[in-house]
């Protein structure tokens, strides 16, 4: 079975633990519940189905039943805390502790580097900017960014991306991209992506005044539609995004880093909500 560090959903880990034990031995939900100290024979199944939660005492019992000890147990407890966190800030604090734990015990955290990459606007900018400017020092790269960045921030971002395998360092201040596209598909990625969207949306607003019209294109349209039209437009936006990626992928040597935001959101509530 995979390591607990390859999961962000504690229920998924519990279920796969159960399925693996059942595959190799006579094992049931009743036995799983008994091992964890619960009198209800189906309690573990109820938890895995998302119909019940684990108390702090219950978390410790379940971790012990699955043979998790020391930092593995702490990681499992953090997964439960993450699932139960009531808002985004609390979830971020739990993920920060998870990352600290992975560093403390030198454990490779699933998608941890990808999550860190999407947390800051500077990482994707430098991923494009540094390879375009071989030999440029961090201070030079920092001065090339429209949103303000320090040389220290640039250096830390470059070091992180080299360590994470996102950039390759060919020589002093010379970098190339290790991969053309970075995937953001795991369970925790929406949290980092939302943070990225907020940062980039703010920069788009700032660009209205900071960037000459000849260097930026910001347009919009307000329209009345139904859910059916919304769904069709979303498909068209995704097709358009893929076409833009295809155009950009053919560029051999870029000159400037741009950001394209596709923002399509409601300005009114649905009629049905007014009657509720």
pLDDT of residue 185: 58
Q: What is the mean pLDDT of residues 24-45?
A: 93
Q: Tell me the per-residue pLDDT of 39-62, one tens digit each, with 9 for 90 and over.
A: 999 999 999 999 999 998 999 999
What would you measure as the largest C-alpha separation in the chain, in angstroms?
A: 70
In a domain, 270, yes or no: no
**119 within some domain:** no
Q: What is the average per-residue pLDDT within 154-162?
A: 95
pLDDT at residue 105, rounded to an integer:
80
Report, as an integer, the average pLDDT of 92-111.
80
Q: 189-245: per-residue pLDDT in tens? A: 788 888 899 999 999 999 999 999 999 999 999 999 999 999 999 999 999 999 998
What's residue 186's pLDDT? Answer: 63
In a domain, 166, yes or no: no
**5 versus 103: which is more confidently predicted?**
5
Q: Quick one: pLDDT at residue 98?
A: 85
Confidence of residue 180 (pLDDT cuts 50, 70, 90): low
pLDDT of 274? 67
Give this prediction's pTM.
0.72
Report, as an integer, the average pLDDT of 134-154. 95
Region 1-19 average pLDDT? 91
Residue 55 is assigned to a structural domain of this protein: yes
Could you tell me if residue 247 is inside a domain?
A: no
Residues of the domain holding 25: 4-85
Q: Is there a domain that residue 250 lies in?
A: no
Give the pLDDT band of residue 270 (cuts 50, 70, 90): confident
Predicted pLDDT at 182:
65
Domain of 14, CATH number, reads 1.10.260.40
How many domains, the chain? 1
Q: Which of the four pLDDT bands, split at 50, 70 and 90, describes residue 75?
A: very high
Q: How confident is the model at residue 110 (pLDDT cuts 50, 70, 90)?
A: low
Q: 8 in a domain, yes or no?
A: yes
State the average pLDDT for the chain.
Answer: 90
Q: In this prediction, what percent of the chain has a pLDDT beyond 90?
A: 66
Query: Is position 111 within any domain?
Result: no
């Amino acid at each position: 079975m995979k390591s607990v560090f390859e999961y962000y959903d504690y229920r998924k880990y519990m279920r796969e633990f159960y399925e693996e034990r059942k595959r190799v031995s006579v094992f049931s939900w009743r036995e799983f519940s008994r091992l964890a100290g619960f009198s209800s024979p189906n309690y573990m199944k109820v938890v895995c189905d998302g119909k019940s939660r684990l108390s702090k005492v219950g978390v410790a019992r379940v971790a012990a039943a699955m043979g998790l000890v020391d930092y593995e147990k702490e990681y499992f407890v953090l997964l439960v805390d993450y699932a139960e966190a009531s808002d985004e800030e609390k979830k971020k604090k739990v993920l920060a502790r998870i990352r600290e734990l992975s560093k403390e015990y030198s454990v490779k955290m699933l998608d941890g580097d990808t999550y860190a990459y999407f947390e800051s606007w500077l990482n994707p900018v430098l991923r494009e900017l540094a390879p375009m400017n071989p030999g440029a020092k961090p201070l030079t790269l920092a001065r090339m960014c429209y949103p303000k960045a320090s040389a220290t921030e640039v250096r830390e971002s470059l070091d992180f991306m080299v360590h994470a395998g996102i950039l390759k360092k060919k020589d002093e201040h010379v970098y190339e991209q290790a991969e053309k596209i970075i995937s953001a598909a795991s369970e925790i990625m929406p949290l980092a992506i939302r943070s990225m969207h907020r940062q980039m949306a703010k920069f788009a607003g700032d660009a209205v005044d900071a960037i000459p019209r000849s260097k930026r294109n910001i347009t919009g349209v307000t329209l009345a539609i139904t859910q059916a039209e919304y769904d069709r437009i979303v498909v068209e936006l995704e097709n358009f995004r893929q076409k833009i990626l295809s155009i950009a992928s053919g560029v051999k040597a870029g000159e400037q880093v741009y950001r394209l935001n596709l923002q399509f959101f409601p300005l009114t509530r649905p009629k049905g909500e007014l009657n509720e």
